[in-house]
Structure 1
Amino acid sequence: MISAQTIKGSIDELGAITKVELCVMDLNGDIVASTTEREMLDISIITSFAQSPVDSQVIGDVHLFKILDEGEPAYVLLAKGDSEHAYMVGKIGVSQLQNLIVAYKERFDRNNFFQNLLLDNMLLIDVYNRARKLKVEVNVPRVIILVEVKHSNDNTAQELLGSMYAPHTGDYVTAVDENSVILIKSLAKSQTYEEVQKIATTIVDMMNTEAMLDVRVSYGTIVDELKDLSKSYKEAKMALEVGRIFYAEKKVNAYNTLGIGRLIYQLPESLCRIFIDEIFGGKEVPDDLDEETLNTINKFFENNLNVSETSRQLFVHRNTLVYRIEKLEKSSGLDVRKFDDALTFKIALMVIGYMKYLENR
């Protein structure tokens, strides 16, 4: 239901413009919002009017109007002032408040609809029926963009995202938990993942510059039908978690670019332990290596196993780099200058990172 604060803001603005005293009461005669502290009519008159079949009535210089919600009385509006002027202002107030009620109900219903849709809490026939009622197009390309907020009690992210992507453009913002905000982004048929990546990057930049929020963003695959949005949502959730484990340096992660990280994420912990034991046996595992060695190896991988380029970027002599690589070979049994060993070592690093994540969780 529409909030008392919203109602007060609406009648305060109307009262200030027209100089007519306005008061909105519930059907029990309790004041919801008023532009004056004076009591206009006795409560018994209000409750009697609320139960009567008429939609408006005048008592002295006070005009009474019913504010309807789907044909049923929801509130009573009182307008006090010059007869014709007060009547006209009262009718405007009723129209304004009834439109607000409709808008707020639509917003609530849409929010509820998308939450249930994303969580797979709806039958297929209900999806199409409710979509038709809420005027949500069914066959439009859409993608789920998930924004993880560091501080869960902060609503700034949802408000900012809502101002960036409004429902009239076919975009909807909702949330199903306290830690993230969901953007259901409507796309043109010609838009690609490259453009979705740009949208996600823009969201990160806007959150950082406009609200000073540290956020992580992920997105699922583009779906052509409304009923498949839950699939895109699950993919976006996985992309967010996989990104947190394996690609912590990236602020935006896409489900279709997770690569080997997605594969490892779906492995059982027991299989991961078997893999690590098989590769290293009783030798030193990468998790036990010093930070200097790990940084050296990561830079070596970034430069496609190029010794000369890696030594240049690390500002070390080529022989120093070779010494570190050979030292790693002695401790782990893997020569990362060879492609197969480098691939094994890289996967091992990711598997160990995943196992640490499971332990901490």
Structure 2
Amino acid sequence: MSNRLFQGLVHQMRDTIDATVGVVDDTATIIACSDLTKVGTTNEFVSLDLSDVHDIFIRDGYTYKPFGSHAKPEYAVFVEGMDDTAAKYANILAISLFNIKQYYDEKYDRNNFIKNVVLDNVLPGDIVIKARELHFNAEVSRVVLLIRIVSANDVSAYDVIQNLFPDKNKDFVFTISESDIVLVKEIKGAVDTKDLEKLARSIADTLSSEFYTRVNVGIGTIVTGVKDLSRSFKEAQMALEVGKVFDTDKAIVSYENLGIARLIYHLPTTLCETFLHEVFKRGSI
């Protein structure tokens, strides 16, 4: 998608800038260019420079300006020429391309949208509108699993879980802290709590047996409608919190199986203290 965005802007600049302009990615492959015959070609020397610098540099008669949202530049604009004018054009194009990509990512990134919905960062009235903009099926049944890392090694549990659920149009994985990973899983057909617990167990077992990472998993209830994903997330959170108190030996805790523990967890502290005081006072008589 970035290639099409960049090519569109470069094409519009073709008549304004009287020189060949284009964009290379971090492998130094030309992904957009005013000269279409150059698209797909590479330059390994440019790749070496991209890995080290953010500043303008010149190679083989072209001025390059790296840009990107990470510490290591992801792309570089190039403009034919080695003078100040070429450098100025390269800077302007780099700023323009960076901003248009950032805007596009924020507007059309479904994963970011789901994350904001789950964390209650989107107004209820905006959810349906945003879902329609993203061509997002808002009425599919989904469930939220909260995966909390208890102990880990150097392997990224986030990357492992992403690989377990590679369909980015149906399942969404994102982090909310150093130890908490959220999985929003699309549900099809008749699925009950036992099926969800088997899914959670398979995630925990994979992380444990293959990557020596121990996790606890909280499972919310299945919801239909993207608006209710935040509720399923809060239920998964509660499952883990209640599990720490009442089911300390369980790594997989489902909200639907909390039973009376869920009610006790919601009792005010003062009420619990009063109850305990009355029970022990009676027992001493």
Normalising to structure 1: TM-score of the pair? 0.55
- Look up the equivalent residue of 1:30 and give its one-letter code: K
Partner of 2:8: none
Q: CA deviation at 1:246?
A: 0.7
Q: Tell whether 2:110 aligns with 1:110.
A: yes
Corresponding residue number in structure 2 for 1:11: 29
Q: Is the 8 A contact 1:158 1:181 kept in 2?
A: yes
Distance 1:43 1:163 in 2: 46
Residue 177 of structure 2 aligns to a residue whose secondary structure is coil
Q: CA deviation at 1:249?
A: 0.5
C-alpha separation in 2, matches of 1:180 and 1:132: 29
Distance in 1, matches of 2:28 and 2:151, equals 32
Q: Taking CA–CA contacts closer than 8 Å with sequence separation of 6 or more, which of the two structures ends up with the larger relative contact order?
A: 2
- Give the conservation status (yes or no) of the 8 Å contact 1:29–1:44: no
Secondary structure of 1:202 counterpart: helix
**Partner in structure 1 of residue 248 of structure 2:** 248
Residues 311-322 of structure 1: matches in 2 within 5 Å? none
Distance in 1 (CA, whole Å) between partners of 2:214 and 2:267 is: 30
Structure with more of its chain in strand, by fraction: 2
- Aligned residue for 1:250, secondary structure, equals coil
Distance in 2 between the 1:140 and 1:130 partners? Answer: 16
Could you tell me which residue of structure 2 aligns to residue 275 of structure 1? Answer: 275
- 1:105 counterpart SS class: helix
Residues 44 and 107 (structure 1 numbering): CA distance in 2 closer, same or farther, change over 3 Å?
same
Measured in 2, the distance between the counterparts of 1:29 and 1:162 equals 34
RMSD: 4.1
| Bigger Rg, which one | 1
Superposed displacement of residue 194, structure 1: 2.1
Letter in 2 for 1:9: T
- What CA distance in whole angstroms lies between the structure 2 residues aligned with 1:18 and 1:29? 16
Alignment coverage as a number of residue pairs = 236
Residue number in structure 1 paired with 2:34: none
2:133 aligns with 133
Identity %: 32
Gaps of 5+ in 2: 3-23, 31-37, 57-62, 68-72, 75-79
Q: Deviations over 1:142-181 (max 9, x none)?
A: 0000001125997711111111112445000012233310
Give how far 1:253 is off. 0.3
Instruction: Answer whether contact 2:65 2:90 (CA < 8 A) is retained.
Output: no
Paired position in structure 1 for 2:146: 146
**Do the aligned partners of 2:65 and 2:91 also contact (CA within 8 Å) in 1?**
no
Q: Which one-letter code corresponds to 1:220 in the other structure? A: G
Does the alignment pair 1:120 with 2:160?
no
| Between structures 1 and 2, the one with greater helix share | 1
SS of the residue aligned with 2:25?
A: helix
Determine the C-alpha separation between the residues in 2 that align with 1:147 and 1:109: 22
Offset from partner CA, 1:244-274 (integer Å, 9 cap, x none): 1110101100000001211110111122122
**Aligned residues of 2:27 and 2:44 also touching (Cα < 8 A):** no
Letter of the 2:142 counterpart? R
Which residue is equivalent to 2:232?
232
Q: CA deviation at 1:42?
A: 1.9
Give secondary structure in 2 for the equivalent of 1:30. strand
Which residue of the partner structure matches residue 86 of structure 2?
A: 46
CA shift for structure 1 position 275: 1.9
Paired with 1:266 and 1:21, the residues of 2 have a C-alpha distance of 61
Code of the residue aligned with 1:125 in structure 2: it is G
Tell me: CA distance 1:196–1:142, structure 2 relative to 1, closer, same or farther (3 Å).
same
Partner of 2:182 in structure 1? 182
Matched AA of 2:119: L
**Displacement after TM superposition at 1:281 (Å):** 2.1
Correspondence 1:30 to 2:65: yes
Task: Give, in whole Å, the separation in 2 of the partners of 1:43 and 1:237.
Answer: 58
Q: 2-side partners of 1:188 and 1:207: how far apart?
A: 25
Which AA in structure 2 matches 1:199? L
Structure 1 residue matching 2:173: 3-state secondary structure: strand
Deviates more, 1:111-120 or 1:224-233: 111-120
How does 1:327-346 map onto structure 2 within 5 Å? none
The two structures have a TM-score, normalised by structure 2, of: 0.68
